Amino acid sequence: MLKLVIIISVAVLIVGFEGNTSVNGELPPNPKTGECYTRVSVPAVYEKQAETIMVKPETYAIKAVPAKYKYINKQVMVKDGYTRTKVIPAKYKVTNKKVLIRDEARKLLPVPAKFKTVSKRVLVTPERSVWKKGSGPIQKVENSTGEILCFTKVPAVYKTIKERVVVSEASVREQIIPAQYKTMPVRELVSPERVIKKEVPAVYKTVSVKALAKPATQNKYVIPAKYKTVYKKRLTRKSFSEWRPILCNTNASRSSIKDVQSRLAHFGYYKGPIDGVYGRQTSKAVLGFQAKNNLASGGLTKETLNKLKVRWPSKVSTL
């Protein structure tokens, strides 16, 4: 199908040349007999412009300088000093001793009142004078006379009675209860407990030790910035289209197409058979090669053949 399209395109071009017509009325300039032309797309041209950019700014770093040491002889303690303590226990003896088991006490006791019985003569009837009948030679003359009355004194009458009288009033007396003691064996301290301390000195040994001779320090230094050169593409020519001679069925031989296929296979663009047929695989390989090498595309141009190192046919041949 692709071969048919190419043949039709070439036929149109030939008709255009013969009829002095083309697309938009434009014809290839200075055409040569036996050559085929097509309007190809010429890619834009860029040039690499070098530019230096900073990829890493200037920084500072700190480098540690380790400390330096030296060995010196030094006395070191290999065993601590300590205090050795010896306890001498207390000594006792047992003796019989009068031991107070109850303290002296004082007690208040009531003292009752004392009484005694005494005889006491008390007046029962006081002394008085009374009339008593008297007696004489003539006791009675008659009922109305002859009675003797004597006015006599009656002595006082006394009676002895016993009476209980207080000899001493009731009171309180203090009674002392003496302390009580008991003889019993008693453990007495003869000599108290003693603690004897003895200082045991520390043990030292002379050894070689690592001592600091110079302390560690820090050095600050500058790490310069890093730059790299990058290339930027700068457009020097815009893409355009123009008429250029190409290989077609009019001027390309089968051997020329085989050379093109071989070179495309050499560069890794073509993997089909080397049969001299400008088919779809060959056309696709040519387009890939042209795009990779920034060549004009749209046909198999002289520029493409030169890049492939394929000789341009010297005479027209018909496939």
- C-alpha span between 87 and 84 (Å, rounded): 10
185-to-69, 127, 275 alpha-carbon distances in Å? 77, 85, 142
164 belongs to a structural domain: yes
- Quick: pLDDT tens for 118-169: 888 888 889 888 777 766 665 555 566 666 777 688 888 888 888 888 888 8
Q: What is the mean pLDDT of the chain?
A: 81
57-to-60, 62, 220 alpha-carbon distances in Å? 10, 16, 16
Beta strand extents in 155-225 (DSSP E only): 157-168, 171-177, 180-191, 194-200, 203-214, 217-223
14 beta partners: none
Q: What is the mean pLDDT of residues 70-79?
A: 84
The answer to whether 135 touches 147, Cβ cutoff 8 Å, is: no
Residue 15 is predicted with a pLDDT of 35
Q: b/e string for 210-238 if b means 16 or more Cβ within 10 A?
A: eeeeeeeeeeeeeeeeeeeeeeeeeeeee
- Domains identified in the chain, total number: 2
Q: Which of 95, 93, 100 is nearest to 185 (CA)?
A: 95
Query: pLDDT grade, residue 6 (50/70/90)?
Result: very low
Kindly give the pairing relationship between strand 45-56 and strand 226-237: antiparallel
The answer to whether 261 touches 254, Cβ cutoff 8 Å, is: no
Q: Is the pLDDT of residue 21 over 50?
A: no
Q: What is the mean pLDDT of residues 264-275?
A: 94
Is the same domain home to 238 and 302?
Answer: yes
The answer to whether 251 touches 36, Cβ cutoff 8 Å, is: yes
Residue 136 is predicted with a pLDDT of 61
- Give the structural domain span for 32: 2-50+233-308
Residue 144 is predicted with a pLDDT of 60
The answer to whether 310 touches 259, Cβ cutoff 8 Å, is: yes
Query: pLDDT grade, residue 65 (50/70/90)?
Result: confident
Query: pLDDT grade, residue 24 (50/70/90)?
Result: low
- Domain stop point among 177, 192, 213: 177
116 belongs to a structural domain: yes
Residue 11 is predicted with a pLDDT of 36
198 belongs to a structural domain: no
pLDDT > 70 in the chain, percent = 85
Query: pLDDT grade, residue 271 (50/70/90)?
Result: very high
pLDDT > 90 in the chain, percent = 16
Query: pLDDT grade, residue 1 (50/70/90)?
Result: very low
88 belongs to a structural domain: no
- Quick: pLDDT tens for 161-195: 888 888 888 888 888 889 888 888 888 888 898 88
Residue 305 is predicted with a pLDDT of 92
220 belongs to a structural domain: no
99 belongs to a structural domain: no
The answer to whether 277 touches 319, Cβ cutoff 8 Å, is: no
- Quick: pLDDT tens for 222-253: 889 898 888 888 888 888 888 988 887 677 88
CA 257 to chain centre: 79
CA 18 to chain centre: 94
Residue 284 is predicted with a pLDDT of 93
- Domain stop point among 160, 177, 194: 177
Q: What is the mean pLDDT of residues 205-231?
A: 86
Q: Which residue has the tokens 């690499």?
A: 48
Q: Where are the alpha helices (DSSP H) in the chain?
A: 2-19, 254-266, 280-292, 302-308
R_g over Cα of the chain: 83
- C-alpha span between 304 and 292 (Å, rounded): 11
- Domain stop point among 159, 177, 195: 177
Is the pTM of the predicted complex or chain greater than 0.75? no
193 belongs to a structural domain: no
Assigned token pair, 88: 């001498």
Residue 51 is predicted with a pLDDT of 83
71 belongs to a structural domain: no
